[in-house]
Chain A
Amino acid sequence: MRYPPAFVLKRLILLLMIVWTAATLNFFIPKLTPRNPLREKLLEDASRGGYIPPGFNEMVQGYEKKFGLDQPVWKQYLTYMGDMARFDLGYSISNFPKTVGELIGEAIPWTIGLLTVTTALAFLIGTLLGALIAWSRSPSWLNYLVAPLLTLSAIPFYLLALILIYFVAFQWKLLPLGGGYSFGIVPSFSAAFIFDVMKHAILPALSIILASTGGWAIGMRGMMVTVQGEDYMTFAEAKGLKPRRLFFRYAVRNALLPQVTGLALSLSFIVSGSVLVELVFGFPGIGTLLARSVGQLDYFLIYGIVFIIIVAIGVAMFIMDMIYPLLDPRISYE
């Protein structure tokens, strides 16, 4: 048995500990700063009006009471933990009365949709390309791909994004400049809307795929070169195996293991998104939301997003830990 219940339980407890630690830090770090987001927000609104009303301090206290900030810290902490357990992340300051949960809920499908597809595609294309480049029986012209792949992997996502926007969207007007969908279209599960969304997603997706494929390919190429020098490759060839089996079952299968670790790490960032690409394209995902919340000093929103990201990383690690023994029989949790 590869998954003894005790191990799974231990791993689940670890996951809870990570989330709990993250939530606790999330609670205490803002308490360390002398800044008071409520006061700042109200002050900002007030100064827009030109003068500070006489009852300003009372108003701040009123809001603090409403948010429970007049309670002792330990009591606040318990309330907060209770809220977190129910994934109640509180109200957004800049978008009041919207809750942080609502805002994240609106943004997260966009980011997960975009990044799941791009991460999977980049991983598959890059890994296969890297494996083929390193394979000794591949045609030699494949080697010419190494330089462009290295270059692509060195160019940051957002720079590629800008180049793509300039040429494809701005100069040639083939695809929209940005956004998640066109103005004036009501989000629904209609073919027209889905097509519109796809059209908007092509450029952000392309810039992420182009930029990350190179990294996967270079990593896989290195592993394939190492694996091909292994004794089991020589012996497998001496068995008279077909080249296709040698390639997939022996070389790629073994070279893949470190790649999967990399995939686990990048999957956990699916939720956090790639902020810069989303910003450049005005894509309505978590990245854009995070950048906006930072700009607007929306503490609750920032903490909410950070908390969700930490939970996502924890869950991704847990899933990976469960998948590893299936990929590599040498790893078992007995």
Chain B
Amino acid sequence: MNDNGYVLRVENLDVQYHTDAGTVYANSQVSFNLKPGERLGLVGESGSGKSTLALAILGMIKPPGRIGGGEIWLENTDLVKLPEEAIRQVRGRQVSMIPQGAMNSLNPVARIKDQLIDGMIDHELGLSRSEMNRMVREALEAVELDPQVAQMYPHELSGGMKQRACIAIAIAMNPKVIIADEPTSALDVVTQRQVMQTIGHLQAQLGSAVILIGHDMGLMAQFVDRIAVMYAGKLVELGSVKDTFTHPMHPYTQMLISSLPRLENKGTFNGIPGITPLLREIPTDCVFNSRCPQAIPICMQRVPKLLEHRPNQWAACHLYQSEEN
């Protein structure tokens, strides 16, 4: 099924949360793929479904959440169809996560070393104690932490060190895909830069593909190869960083990029008026139509598909679709 050299391929993924207040469609028809060693940025406002997508790839959607449909191919296995024990073996070993809140992502009552080793034990790598200790040392070295950190508890580390420890855990077993969920949102800009450099450096070294989730467009522009824009649970634009920043296609992306502060027009602040729609029903029209300045009649009638309108630049927008319909 997957002989096209992609390490990860997400196909028409639907994730829903069934709550008492109704069903929330957190991801609908999300499709994208990832080459080995590629860096993909996933941007979108809060509640657009970025973290849900990350959890879905890790097989960690919990009730009341449910994967409603679609496929997630990790090389030649469809993760959606895997039983829990099999997906557990994928987590951490093949697909790993760098968590969002590094401040609280480490077990407060366990030493850093033990938190690195327990993953190795549970993945039954068949390593001896001394081999695992060596891996711990290497992982800490890789994230530029002192080997002494292994013996420390999380509360003895600074925020940046904790985030590095989390990265060490995420890369310890050479995963094929690393999902970094806003890894630097809790850090100051200096630490942020250092941490991003570490991630980039390691990723190049290990050859892992990275999905960087965030809403810092500046950070994305510097770090990723391709950028995927999510809005209200849907992927609305997907393209290279250069294309997306120079000539964004989807009106949402256009507004997102023009809202970035620039020095030449200091004092003005361009936001995007309106709010994200509640994702309570399967949309029958374009989810962005209420906020879109360029909306045309068809936007109220039909859901636009994510199509390749320019080479390697995909967008889900009727503005470019008209000639094909």
Contacts and interface: CB of A to CB of B under 8 A. Distances in A.
A328 B153 CA distance: 10
Contacts of B93: 240
Interface residues of A, number: 23
B99 to A, nearest CB: 4
A123 B21 CA distance: 38
B77 interface: no
A254 interface: yes
Contacts of A45: none
Contacts of A250: 107
Contacts of B58: 238
A238 B170 CA distance: 9
A296 interface: no
What's the dominant secondary structure at chain A's contact region? helix
A237 B109 contact: no
B247 interface: no
Interface string A230-247: 111011111111110100
Contacts of A242: 88, 122
Contacts of A237: 60, 91
A329 B103 CA distance: 16
A235 B107 CA distance: 9
Nearest to A327: B109
A240 B107 contact: no
B40 interface: no
Contact of B107 (A136, A232, A243): A232
Contact of B118 (A230, A234, A239): A239
A328 B109 CA distance: 6
A48 interface: no
Given A239-B92, A330-B155, A254 B118 contact: no
B16 interface: no
Contacts of B60: 234, 237-238
Contacts, number: 79
B166 interface: yes
Which of A231, A232, A245, A329 gathers most chain B CB within 10 Å?
Answer: A232
Contacts of A249: 107, 110, 118
B96 A238 contact: yes
Contacts of B97: 235, 238
A183 B248 CA distance: 94
B46 interface: no
Given A231-B100, A235-B99, A241 B119 contact: yes
Contacts of B109: 253-254, 327-330
A250 B115 CA distance: 10
B123 interface: yes
A325 B77 CA distance: 46
Contacts of A327: 109
B107 A254 contact: yes
Given A239-B92, A240-B90, A231 B99 contact: yes
B155 A240 contact: no
Interface in A297-334: 327-330
Interface in A232-276: 232, 234-243, 245, 249-250, 253-254
Nearest to B124: A242
Interface string B74-114: 00000000000000111111001101110111111110000
B62 interface: yes
A324 to B, nearest CB: 12
B229 interface: no
Contacts of A236: 107
B249 interface: no
B15 to A, nearest CB: 16
A236 B99 CA distance: 10
B169 interface: yes
A173 to B, nearest CB: 50
A141 B127 CA distance: 39
Contacts of A330: 108-109, 153, 155
Given A240-B92, A242-B88, 16 more contacts: A231-B99, A231-B100, A231-B104, A234-B105, A239-B92, A240-B89, A240-B90, A240-B91, A240-B123, A245-B118, A249-B107, A254-B107, A254-B108, A327-B109, A329-B153, A330-B155
Interface of A: 136, 230-232, 234-243, 245, 249-250, 253-254, 327-330
Closest 9 CB pairs of A and B: A240-B92, A240-B91, A238-B97, A231-B104, A239-B92, A235-B105, A239-B119, A329-B153, A231-B101
25 contacts: A136-B62, A230-B104, A231-B101, A232-B104, A232-B107, A234-B60, A234-B99, A235-B99, A237-B91, A238-B58, A238-B60, A238-B91, A239-B91, A239-B96, A239-B118, A240-B90, A240-B91, A240-B92, A241-B122, A249-B118, A250-B107, A254-B108, A254-B109, A329-B153, A330-B153
